[in-house]
Chains A and B, each alone.
Chain A
């Protein structure tokens, strides 16, 4: 059973489309940019459109199983390294592309087992982050997501669990909100299905 199938088997009953509206509201409230498409092909189209609009030249992506990665990387004038790119490539990338096992409605978060180092580097170093997630994998609560990730990992905590809610932010100077400190300043989420 592949990773995403295992996740599907562990999802609580109330996960999925019924959680989408709340997820959309909460994620956009924390400045994430959320899209929803019907198919994997449409997801690739949407992602390519975002990449073109951003005008980035260099991007890095983790290996993708939710969409066709080979198709996605074919954007004119943009170098997208797929798989396990060298660290230098990730450091210089303007956009990181990842996929997440789960999303959380009540907090508008993405959630994943990020034990794999590429997942962590590609989602945290570049100034833009684009993530795919299945609409049917949106769970209701923070606790639900933790529960699923724990079960999928054979009833033990993964080495590194990450919840990401919107872009990186700070209010450390005069309590004024500023977006984009050490993590990405824009986060795009494409929900598939």
Chain B
């Protein structure tokens, strides 16, 4: 898909109010419904079990495929192992020819969508009948599924009714029960007269040659029972070794997919069964097609084999703030959302994943929900890295990253100069409201912070610190605090010093490398990691503190990962990462258990609401600590906003790459903040601060945005 078509699709999706209404509503109710159905189940333990099952599959997929083939054949199935989409289509076309098949009923199969089976067989004069309601609707609307579990979730009932009306050539009202009944009666004859049935499988059990289907409508049972020939389409990644693996996946799949305890029907088929034709009992002909089409390459890849842990529940789509706004069709291919982008890279090509991979904002919400324990954002970054390796970023961007970021003095000099250059635009306030030329889009929907006249690194020596009794800590400021919000750094130093620690500021620290990493520029990120490790190595300090969760995360997890191939550097990276803590976590730890405020003498309390940074909550597991600290602070009352851990839309360079999506995420966040009735929004991430401050300023709101360090340091 061309770049401009891609942008156009996003713009259209964002302007489609009906689409957003339907998806948004579902996005709101799904997490709660899902949580209810998982009540009393240890989700962490369950998903570890699923991961183990799937890792076992990945480690010996050929062996399991052989075993499956042997067992299923023993039971009378014909097993065909197909390499490509083309192989599958030819095989089915030949079978259809052999049986003189005029019509084929299909229960849901994403593989058949992936290989565009309907189009192929229809050209040969065979009537292809989708029997899953959602699939039937998209088939007759001339579309593709937008979601792998709920193919027609993007369509309002009025559009569905139009599709029914056109397909059946009689007026059908937009009445959901009526349309469902109509589907039953219209399709009944098709089931009864079909020459062949095609189904998809959720699980293939190697030790017994069994295929499992989880369905709700009953079309799967009819497709498997009525026609004399039945074909199953099964991807290699659906294999599991043991029958006892089935109940484990059955425990998670319906809960994560549709918040059901179990689907209405679970069907397990081993070999051909009988059907009834003209009152004669007839043994069915039963074919199983095991399809590769890029799967084995994915499963052999040291990084992307993780994607084979997917059980296709699509809960990652249901909770993705970006998917909820743009729906599935903007991704451009059959598999949608973050996981779909990864599958597209292997089932189609890397090139075809190039545009949709940009849609991931990296908020990590999907990671919380995935029953296969897949780190989808991490895989998306890997995808980005490989695409950048191949194609490289636009020239100017690459030059900036490679030559400016890795040269700290040059980078910092440029930031200092920017403070002067921006003067005409900031008009002496804290914000830049209008920017010239190509930068204007950035400031259109949020004001940008002005670069500070005196950066934190120049202010630090002037901060007076008390004698320390407990020890020493280093402060890693990160670029935003250093050059845009030096006052956060000052508050941090003062408040940490009050807790009995002396703060040192290693001069040679530079950008943590996250922006380069997110753009796929791994070499740049490696250079920065080394520069910073050298700057931070200091035996005298007990902790390294950061007040930017993205920096903390880089130090904690990413530097070691970036340098893992160099033993010496890896050791040094780990020594540094062992010491790093985010500000709120540090304060909570050294303060220990303090009693909740018992005698709050403050006359009038200010209401504070807390916005969770994606990285702090989901990468670093910190969300209770800042709330506790804020609630204990005199004169403050903590109130929760709706969706406090929903991404604000900053996402580093995301807001430059995908401004339309980012601005709508921000709008929702701002509304939730305003609705909370708070006077202050507390944040722990200067990126969120930049974004939320800018959004509130554009709205003319008086709500203050403050870093937790600033609030705790307030007198």
Chain A positions within 8 Å of B, measured between CB atoms, are 26, 29-30, 86-88, 90-91, 106-109, 115-118, 120-121, 124-125, 141-143, 146, 150, 156-176, 178, 180-184
Interface size of B by Cβ–Cβ distance < 8 Å?
Answer: 68
> 20 additional contacts, CB 8 Å, given A173-B180, A178-B176, A181-B183?
A88-B279, A106-B261, A107-B262, A117-B225, A117-B275, A124-B221, A124-B225, A142-B262, A146-B247, A157-B208, A157-B209, A158-B270, A163-B266, A163-B267, A170-B133, A172-B137, A173-B176, A180-B181, A182-B222, A183-B264
* Inter-chain contacts of B133 with A (CB < 8 A): 170, 172-173, 181
* Inter-chain contacts of B281 with A (CB < 8 A): 117
Q: Does B219 contact A (CB under 8 A)?
A: yes
Q: A124-B222, A173-B133, A173-B160 are in contact. Are A160 and B180 (CB under 8 A)?
A: no
Chain B positions within 8 Å of A, measured between CB atoms, are 22, 25-26, 75, 131-134, 137, 150-153, 155-157, 160, 176-177, 179-181, 183-184, 187-188, 191-192, 205, 208-210, 216-219, 221-222, 224-225, 243-244, 246-247, 250-251, 258, 260-279, 281
B243 is contacted by which of A26, A157, A162, A175 (Cβ under 8 Å)? Answer: A157
Closest chain B residue, CB of each to CB of A117:
B274
* Inter-chain contacts of B150 with A (CB < 8 A): 171-172, 175
CA distance A172 to B177 in the complex (A): 11
CA distance A158 to B269 in the complex (A): 8
CA distance A127 to B247 in the complex (A): 29
Question: Are A164 and B243 in contact, CB atoms less than 8 angstroms apart?
Answer: no
CA distance A184 to B188 in the complex (A): 13
Q: A30-B261, A87-B279 are in contact. Are A117 and B243 (CB under 8 A)?
A: no
29 CB-based A-B contacts, threshold 8 Å: A26-B261, A86-B279, A107-B262, A124-B218, A142-B266, A146-B246, A157-B208, A157-B270, A158-B270, A160-B267, A160-B269, A161-B267, A163-B266, A165-B262, A167-B264, A168-B217, A168-B218, A169-B216, A171-B150, A171-B258, A172-B151, A173-B133, A173-B157, A173-B179, A176-B176, A182-B131, A182-B218, A183-B265, A184-B218
CA distance A116 to B152 in the complex (A): 35
CA distance A86 to B26 in the complex (A): 45
Q: A142-B251, A164-B265 are in contact. Are A159 and B243 (CB under 8 A)?
A: no
Closest chain A residue, CB of each to CB of B224:
A160
In the complex, what's the smallest C-beta–C-beta distance from B159 to chain A, in angstroms? 10
CA distance A184 to B250 in the complex (A): 22
CA distance A150 to B177 in the complex (A): 38
In the complex, what's the smallest C-beta–C-beta distance from A51 to chain B, in angstroms? 22
Q: A124-B222, A180-B180 are in contact. Are A159 and B272 (CB under 8 A)?
A: yes
Q: A86-B279, A168-B218 are in contact. Are A182 and B247 (CB under 8 A)?
A: no
B221 is contacted by which of A106, A115, A120 (Cβ under 8 Å)? Answer: A120
In the complex, what's the smallest C-beta–C-beta distance from A43 to chain B, in angstroms? 24
Question: Are A160 and B153 in contact, CB atoms less than 8 angstroms apart?
Answer: no
Question: Are B225 and A183 in contact, CB atoms less than 8 angstroms apart?
Answer: no
Question: Are B268 and A181 in contact, CB atoms less than 8 angstroms apart?
Answer: no
In the complex, what's the smallest C-beta–C-beta distance from B642 to chain A, in angstroms? 20
A146 is contacted by which of B221, B243, B264, B269 (Cβ under 8 Å)? Answer: B243
* Inter-chain contacts of A142 with B (CB < 8 A): 247, 250-251, 262, 266
Closest chain B residue, CB of each to CB of A89:
B279
Q: A173-B179, A180-B180, A181-B133 are in contact. Are A117 and B273 (CB under 8 A)?
A: yes
Question: Are B208 and A156 in contact, CB atoms less than 8 angstroms apart?
Answer: yes
In the complex, what's the smallest C-beta–C-beta distance from A115 to chain B, in angstroms? 6
Question: Are B272 and A172 in contact, CB atoms less than 8 angstroms apart?
Answer: no
CA distance A182 to B263 in the complex (A): 14
Q: Which 4 A-B pairs have the closest CB atoms?
A: A183-B218, A172-B134, A143-B247, A182-B218
* Inter-chain contacts of A174 with B (CB < 8 A): 22, 156-157, 176
Q: A117-B275, A172-B134 are in contact. Are A143 and B218 (CB under 8 A)?
A: no
CA distance A165 to B134 in the complex (A): 21
CA distance A30 to B75 in the complex (A): 34
CA distance A187 to B192 in the complex (A): 22
In the complex, what's the smallest C-beta–C-beta distance from B530 to chain A, in angstroms? 50
In the complex, what's the smallest C-beta–C-beta distance from B184 to chain A, in angstroms? 6
In the complex, what's the smallest C-beta–C-beta distance from A86 to chain B, in angstroms? 5
* Inter-chain contacts of A26 with B (CB < 8 A): 261
Closest chain A residue, CB of each to CB of B219:
A182
In the complex, what's the smallest C-beta–C-beta distance from B375 to chain A, in angstroms? 28
CA distance A137 to B269 in the complex (A): 23
Question: Are B264 and A168 in contact, CB atoms less than 8 angstroms apart?
Answer: yes
Question: Are B278 and A183 in contact, CB atoms less than 8 angstroms apart?
Answer: no
In the complex, what's the smallest C-beta–C-beta distance from B71 to chain A, in angstroms? 9
CA distance A175 to B150 in the complex (A): 8
In the complex, what's the smallest C-beta–C-beta distance from A54 to chain B, in angstroms? 17
CA distance A159 to B284 in the complex (A): 12
Among B218, B260, B281, find the residue whose CB has the most chain A CB atoms closer than 10 A: B218
CA distance A173 to B184 in the complex (A): 14
Q: A115-B273, A173-B157, A181-B217 are in contact. Are A164 and B264 (CB under 8 A)?
A: yes
Question: Are B26 and A175 in contact, CB atoms less than 8 angstroms apart?
Answer: yes
In the complex, what's the smallest C-beta–C-beta distance from B552 to chain A, in angstroms? 38
Q: A160-B268, A176-B176, A181-B219 are in contact. Are A121 and B251 (CB under 8 A)?
A: no
* Inter-chain contacts of A107 with B (CB < 8 A): 261-262
Question: Are B262 and A181 in contact, CB atoms less than 8 angstroms apart?
Answer: no
Question: Are B261 and A169 in contact, CB atoms less than 8 angstroms apart?
Answer: no
Q: A109-B262, A124-B225, A156-B208 are in contact. Are A168 and B216 (CB under 8 A)?
A: yes
CA distance A157 to B72 in the complex (A): 11
CA distance A187 to B209 in the complex (A): 31
* Inter-chain contacts of B184 with A (CB < 8 A): 180-182
In the complex, what's the smallest C-beta–C-beta distance from B610 to chain A, in angstroms? 31
* Inter-chain contacts of B152 with A (CB < 8 A): 172-173
In the complex, what's the smallest C-beta–C-beta distance from B313 to chain A, in angstroms? 15
* Inter-chain contacts of A150 with B (CB < 8 A): 243
* Inter-chain contacts of B275 with A (CB < 8 A): 117
Question: Are A170 and B262 in contact, CB atoms less than 8 angstroms apart?
Answer: no
Question: Are B262 and A163 in contact, CB atoms less than 8 angstroms apart?
Answer: yes
* Inter-chain contacts of A169 with B (CB < 8 A): 216-217, 264
Closest chain B residue, CB of each to CB of A86:
B279
Among A120, A146, A166, find the residue whose CB has the most chain B CB atoms closer than 10 A: A120
In the complex, what's the smallest C-beta–C-beta distance from B278 to chain A, in angstroms? 7
CA distance A131 to B600 in the complex (A): 65
* Inter-chain contacts of B131 with A (CB < 8 A): 182
Closest chain A residue, CB of each to CB of B266:
A163
In the complex, what's the smallest C-beta–C-beta distance from A34 to chain B, in angstroms? 15
Closest chain B residue, CB of each to CB of A175:
B26
In the complex, what's the smallest C-beta–C-beta distance from A46 to chain B, in angstroms? 23
In the complex, what's the smallest C-beta–C-beta distance from A109 to chain B, in angstroms? 6
Question: Are A143 and B273 in contact, CB atoms less than 8 angstroms apart?
Answer: no
CA distance A129 to B133 in the complex (A): 21
CA distance A32 to B269 in the complex (A): 24
In the complex, what's the smallest C-beta–C-beta distance from B536 to chain A, in angstroms? 50
CA distance A125 to B117 in the complex (A): 28
CA distance A173 to B210 in the complex (A): 31
Question: Are B265 and A181 in contact, CB atoms less than 8 angstroms apart?
Answer: no
CA distance A91 to B181 in the complex (A): 17
Among A26, A143, A182, find the residue whose CB has the most chain B CB atoms closer than 10 A: A182
* Inter-chain contacts of B273 with A (CB < 8 A): 115, 117, 120, 159-160
* Inter-chain contacts of A178 with B (CB < 8 A): 176-177, 180
* Inter-chain contacts of B278 with A (CB < 8 A): 87
Among B131, B180, B191, B264, find the residue whose CB has the most chain A CB atoms closer than 10 A: B264
Question: Are A161 and B151 in contact, CB atoms less than 8 angstroms apart?
Answer: no
In the complex, what's the smallest C-beta–C-beta distance from A157 to chain B, in angstroms? 4
Question: Are A181 and B180 in contact, CB atoms less than 8 angstroms apart?
Answer: yes
In the complex, what's the smallest C-beta–C-beta distance from B211 to chain A, in angstroms? 10
* Inter-chain contacts of B188 with A (CB < 8 A): 182
* Inter-chain contacts of B26 with A (CB < 8 A): 175
* Inter-chain contacts of A146 with B (CB < 8 A): 243, 246-247, 268
Question: Are A161 and B268 in contact, CB atoms less than 8 angstroms apart?
Answer: yes
CA distance A164 to B264 in the complex (A): 6
CA distance A92 to B264 in the complex (A): 23
CA distance A165 to B263 in the complex (A): 7
